[in-house]
């Protein structure tokens, strides 16, 4: 079924009163790349339209804007949308193939923004192979009368976000820039949630490393894995600072001046998350170093114990070796109590050495 056909099916289901769940983790529930297409006028959602083309014609006749949501479209699926809205080929390529850094770019009258989405992967126990952070992407094309969102990944549904915006017509009436701000705010809020969840994992590892009952019991592989997952979170959070700063301070087309104040608030939240993630990175470095130091201390203690016992065993070995040379003239060789005396001397020497090592903490 074509994109337009699927969109008409969405409209029919909506008119009949069926609620369509648009928060499916993979593709849209209709198996199409189109998740939703809605027209807004003065911040109010308009009746369902039959096709994307019809929605565009409607907003250009009566003002308003259209919000088209897509999920992981292919080149062929996105080609018609790109032509309809006049999207730049470079931005289209980035939107389709994903794996981009967070950024904001201006292509003529169209603003193109990339956001990295993150979600925390629940796990009963952190292991050396646990996935802690999962990332995706949301690309946003914002023009004078349209917003096109392209989502990649099995999370980050914009359904709840759309419902929240529709409950505030005054904000939504500010146009596409209001949608852009809401998406940025939603993404950064997810960063805060994931950072708090990761902190719990770090606290658990830290407790295991410094536990007085079993110091150094943490697995170094778990610490490395947590650090790798934190790096994935850091790659999503840190590069977004510059794009948000541009949206908050630089004059841009279709970005309402009142909305720029909201972008400054989002940038402030992002700054706090960035500081938190950076602190986590330093803390994990310290935890790893402490763990390796504990392992080295434990190995040194084992080596000292082995050395001490080897020194104790060397005494009887040496005495027995001397007497085993079978010379005729050996001390007390022909005395009746010579053998018990030799054993007593060996035991006494071993005991003295043992007490010395014990006093020095080697045993």
Tens digit of each residue's pLDDT (9 = 90 or more) over 277-327 = 999 988 888 888 887 777 777 777 778 788 888 888 888 887 787 777 776
pLDDT of residue 148: 94
pLDDT of residue 146: 92
Q: Are residues 269 and 355 in the same domain?
A: no
Terminal alpha carbon distance of the chain? 78
Query: Of 195, 189, 184, which is closest to residue 120 (Cα–Cα)?
Result: 195
| Furthest CA-CA distance within the chain | 125
Q: Are residues 248 and 110 in the same domain?
A: yes
Tell me how far apart the alpha carbons of residues 122 and 294 are, in angstroms, rounded to a whole number: 30
Query: Of 117, 120, 136, which is closest to residue 183 (Cα–Cα)?
Result: 117
Tens digit of each residue's pLDDT (9 = 90 or more) over 320-334 = 877 777 766 667 667
**What's the domain range around 314?**
300-359
| Other Cβ atoms closer than 10 A to 173 | 15
Tell me how far apart the alpha carbons of residues 221 and 201 are, in angstroms, rounded to a whole number: 14
Give me the number of domains the chain comprises: 2
Tell me how far apart the alpha carbons of residues 230 and 224 are, in angstroms, rounded to a whole number: 10
Q: Which of 294, 318, 337 is the last residue of a domain?
A: 294
Q: Which of 294, 324, 346 is the last residue of a domain?
A: 294
Q: Are residues 144 and 288 in the same domain?
A: yes
Residue 228 main-chain phi, psi, to 5 deg: -65, -45
Query: Of 136, 114, 35, 34, which is closest to residue 77 (Cα–Cα)?
Result: 34
Q: What is the 3-state secondary structure (H, E, C) of the chain?
A: CCHHHHHHHHHHHHHCCCCCCCCCCCCCCCCCCEEEEEEEECCEECCCCCCHHHHHHHHHHHCCEEEEEEECCCHHHHHHHHHHHCCCHHHHHHHHHCCCCCEEEEECCEEEEEEEEEEECCCCCCCCCCCCEEEEEEEEEECCCEEEEEEECCCCCCHHHHHHHHCCHHHHCCCHHHHHHHHHHHHHHHHHHHHHHHHHHHHHHHHHHCCCCCCCCCCHHHHHHHHHHHHHHHHHHHHHHHHHHHHHHCCCCCCCHHHHHHHHHHHHHHHHHHHHHHHHHHHHHHHHHHHHHHHHHHHHHHHHHHHHHHHHHHHHHHHHHHHCCCCCCCCCCCCCCHHHHHHHHHHHHHHHHHHHHHHCCCC
Tell me the whole-structure pTM to 2 decimals.
0.73
Q: Are 137 and 100 in contact (CB under 8 A)?
A: yes
Tell me how far apart the alpha carbons of residues 32 and 326 are, in angstroms, rounded to a whole number: 96
- What is the chain's alpha carbon radius of gyration, rounded to the nearest angstrom? 35
Length of the chain: 363
pLDDT of residue 29: 41
CATH code: domain of residue 341: 1.20.58
Q: Are residues 207 and 226 in the same domain?
A: yes
Q: Which residues of the chain have pLDDT under 70?
A: 1-32, 212-218, 327-330, 332-333
Tell me how far apart the alpha carbons of residues 263 and 180 are, in angstroms, rounded to a whole number: 9
pLDDT of residue 271: 93
Q: Are residues 126 and 247 in the same domain?
A: yes
Half-sphere exposure of 276 (CA within 13 A, CB side): 20
Q: Are residues 123 and 26 in the same domain?
A: yes
CATH code: domain of residue 182: 3.30.460.20
Q: Are residues 327 and 265 in the same domain?
A: no
Query: Of 168, 164, 293, 281, which is closest to residue 228 (Cα–Cα)?
Result: 281
Q: Are residues 283 and 304 in the same domain?
A: no
Q: Which of 261, 294, 327 is the last residue of a domain?
A: 294
Distance of CA 330 to the CA centre of its chain: 77
Q: Are residues 306 and 286 in the same domain?
A: no
Q: Are residues 94 and 184 in the same domain?
A: yes
Q: Are 101 and 114 in contact (CB under 8 A)?
A: yes
Tell me how far apart the alpha carbons of residues 130 and 124 are, in angstroms, rounded to a whole number: 10
pLDDT of residue 213: 62
Q: Are residues 230 and 353 in the same domain?
A: no
Q: Are residues 277 and 336 in the same domain?
A: no
């Amino acid at each position: 079924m074509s994109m337009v056909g699927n969109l008409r099916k969405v409209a029919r289901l909506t008119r009949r009163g069926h609620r369509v769940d648009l928060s499916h983790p993979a593709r849209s529930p209709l198996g199409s790349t189109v998740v939703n297409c809605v027209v807004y006028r003065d911040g109010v959602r308009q009746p369902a339209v039959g096709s994307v083309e019809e929605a565009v014609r409607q907003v250009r006749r009566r003002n308003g804007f259209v919000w088209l949501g897509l999920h992981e479209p292919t080149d062929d699926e996105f080609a018609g949308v790109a032509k309809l809205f006049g999207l730049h080929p470079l931005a289209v390529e980035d939107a389709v193939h994903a794996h981009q850094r967070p950024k904001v770019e201006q292509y003529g009258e169209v603003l193109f923004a990339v956001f990295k989405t993150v979600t925390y992967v629940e796990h009963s126990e952190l292991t050396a192979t646990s996935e802690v952070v999962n990332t995706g992407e949301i690309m946003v094309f914002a023009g004078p009368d349209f917003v096109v969102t392209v989502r990649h990944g099995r999370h980050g549904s914009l359904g709840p976000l759309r419902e929240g915006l529709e409950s505030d017509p005054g904000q939504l009436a500010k146009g596409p820039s209001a949608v852009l701000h809401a998406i940025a705010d939603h993404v950064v809020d997810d960063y805060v949630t994931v950072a708090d969840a990761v902190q719990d994992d770090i606290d658990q590892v830290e407790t295991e490393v410094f536990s007085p009952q079993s110091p150094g019991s943490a697995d170094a592989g778990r610490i490395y894995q947590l650090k790798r997952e934190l790096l994935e979170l850091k790659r999503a959070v840190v590069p977004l600072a510059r794009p948000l700063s541009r949206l908050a301070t630089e004059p841009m087309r279709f970005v309402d001046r009142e909305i720029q104040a909201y972008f400054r608030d989002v940038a402030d939240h992002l700054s706090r998350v960035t500081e938190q993630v950076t602190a986590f990175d330093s803390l994990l470095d310290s935890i790893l170093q402490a763990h390796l130091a504990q392992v080295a201390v434990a190995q040194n203690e084992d080596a000292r114990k082995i050395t001490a016992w080897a020194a104790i065993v060397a005494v009887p070995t040496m005495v027995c070796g001397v007497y085993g040379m079978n010379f005729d003239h050996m001390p007390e060789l022909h005395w009746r109590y010579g053998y018990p005396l030799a054993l007593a001397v060996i035991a006494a020497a071993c005991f003295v050495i043992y007490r010395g090592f014990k006093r020095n903490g080697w045993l």
